[in-house]
Structure 1
Amino acid sequence: MSPLAAAIPSPAPTPRQPLRLVVHGAAGRMGQRIIASAGGEPAQWTLVAAVDRAGHPRTGTDAGTLAGVTPAGVAISDGWSCPADVVIDFSLPGAVAAIAAACVARKVPLVVATTGLEASDQTAIHEAAKQIAILQSPSMSLAVNVAMDLVSRAAALLHRSGVRADVEIIECHHRHKEDSPSGTALKFGSLVQDAMGQTRAAHGREGRPGARPADEIGYHAVRAGDNPGEHTILFGLEGESLSVNVRATNRDCYARGALAAAAFLAGKPAGLYSMRDVLGIA
């Protein structure tokens, strides 16, 4: 490089504009935490719409004020038509198909964080993913998704060893959670089943069900207090056991994970993505 060239400063990089964010389920507990977290990163996010069901009692309330942070200048409403870069859905199962259709119509990527979905909801998601980028996960927690990889690997190793491992999944959530077992618990079970081949599920036990069969996964759901979420996957062997435990201490971990997923998804080509893609897990 010549001295003259070295003396000429390189042009400053163009600042990246904040991503324009739409939150569905904005008046709910998780929607509020996402709005609060996004509000704390103004260089990364601009909230452009905060959507909840028609007739919600919080309609018209400033989304930031409702979330307990600085006013966002965006009111809770029942729809959106403004330009957006990504949508996060933390609403209810019955709304997912319509939200996906709206995102397809506007060509906006969608993060589906809602759980307890029906088969028809899954069909709508898969169809929409042919036209836009969609990321779906039973949990937005980064720690939970790392734990899923650990459980999958542990199940595969134990299965290859030929030893019997009885698998029990215990999950605990707050008293307001409507679906049971949690979508995360069912995903843990699916990973174990894929690796070990169990064909039966036992949801709690009472009376005299007899000896535990080897091809069974036990699920136990606890609903108490304000617990934001805890999952324990127990592998019971002869003379020893292995447990994988992951626990949320507040809902902000889910909000941060959802925002990480949204940042990853913005600008991606059409397809169905998961948190494994965000974490770079092969």
Structure 2
Amino acid sequence: MRVLITAGASGIGFAMAEAFSAAGYDVWVTDVNVAALAACPETWTTRVVDAANETQMRVLFGEVATAGRLDVACANAGVAGPTALVEDVAWEDWKTCVDVTLGAAFLTAKFAAPMMKAAGAGAIVLTSSTAGVFGYPNRAPYSAAKWGVIGLMKTLAMELGPFGIRANAICPGAVEGPRMEGVLQREADVKGMVRDAVYDGYASGTSMRTFVRAQDIANMAVFLASDGAARVSGQVISVDGHTENPDPKP
């Protein structure tokens, strides 16, 4: 079994790669972070690829096709985008966030679909966000892109289902780690708050009163790719401790 994970050299993507590796998959990981890729286990196949670059993705999938079939594609690449009121978001920052976060998911699906159709099976797992379910103040580009990922997933499930291919979206909540730390600090700056108050606001906005771990997301990805989820497709599955409040406050 073979899995391809975009943005797999750190964070959620790295946790996914570890989990799929433990489940016996041949793991292929792409990223733009050369140093992070170099630190990945030698048993993984790693490639420096911008998942939002069509030419690079076409070459990548050509390599995967040469290696054999592709069983699972995890469209995980994305960027946080700016934290600002909508009137303060620069057009270039909007375009960059949407191009990477939604565009990379589209390209992953575009190139994975023909390979999976030829095999008559496959699973595409897209990383969305609770921001793609509720919307989030001060995160307009990111939220719009993550809503778009869900729309893409629903369409993929309908188009590809007749070929034995499933598509689902995972919506992480606030995930412990460096990326979320940056979000917390930027939001604190915008709201004139301290970082810890923003953190507590996110945690208290869930029924479980907690952030989640990258491993929690990875476990769900492996399940969605497994035979245990053989009839699960077109679903939006949150792994977030149950978000209740989309506008965290202290």
Q: TM-score, normalised on structure 1?
A: 0.47
Provide the rounded CA distance (Å) in 2 between the counterparts of 1:114 and 1:265.
22
- How do 1:68-147 and structure 2 match up within 5 A? 69=41, 71-78=42-49, 79-80=60-61, 81-82=64-65, 83-92=69-78, 93-94=101-102, 95-107=104-116, 108-115=122-129, 116=142, 118=145, 119-130=147-158, 131=160, 132-139=165-172
Match of 1:257 among 220, 225, 230: 220
2:25 paired with 1:46: yes
Tell me by how many angstroms 1:138 deviates: 1.0
Secondary structure of 2:45 counterpart = coil
Q: Is the contact made by 1:173 and 1:223 (CA closer than 8 Å) also made in structure 2? A: no
| CA distance in 1 between partners of 2:108 and 2:9 (Å) | 16
Secondary structure of 2:210's counterpart equals strand
Q: CA deviation at 1:134?
A: 0.8
RMSD value over aligned CA atoms?
A: 3.9
Say whether residues 1:57 and 2:46 are aligned partners: no
**What amino acid does structure 1 have at the position aligned with 2:20?**
A
In 2, Cα distance between the equivalents of 1:27 and 1:175? 13
Q: Relative to 1, partners in 2 of residues 1:222 and 1:111: Cα closer, same or farther, differing over 3 Å? A: same
Matched to 1:22, the amino acid is L
Higher helix share: 2
Structure 1 pair 122–205 and aligned structure 2 pair: CA distance change class (3 A): same
3-state SS of paired residue (1:72): coil
* Residues in 2 aligned to 1:251 and 1:128: alpha-carbon distance in whole angstroms: 25
TM-score by length of 2: 0.52
Structure 2: gaps (5+ residues): 50-59, 79-100, 117-121, 130-141, 185-189, 239-250
- 1:101 alignment partner AA: K
Q: Distance in 2 between matches of 1:111 and 1:272?
A: 10
| 2:3 corresponding residue in structure 1 | 21
Which digits, 9 at most, give the CA deviation of each residue in 1:98-118, with x for residues without a partner?
Answer: 112222222232111243452
Deviation at 1:48, TM superposition (A): 4.1
**For 1:59 and 1:233, how far apart are their aligned partners in 2?**
32
Q: Equivalent residue of 2:8, what SS?
A: coil
Q: Deviations over 1:186-235 (max 9, x none)?
A: xxxxxxxxxxxxxxxxxx988xxxxxxxxxxxxx98269xxxx963337x
Counterpart CA distance in 2 for 1:172 and 1:128 is: 26
- Structure 1: tracts of 5 or more residues without a match: 1-18, 145-170, 182-203, 207-219, 235-242, 277-282
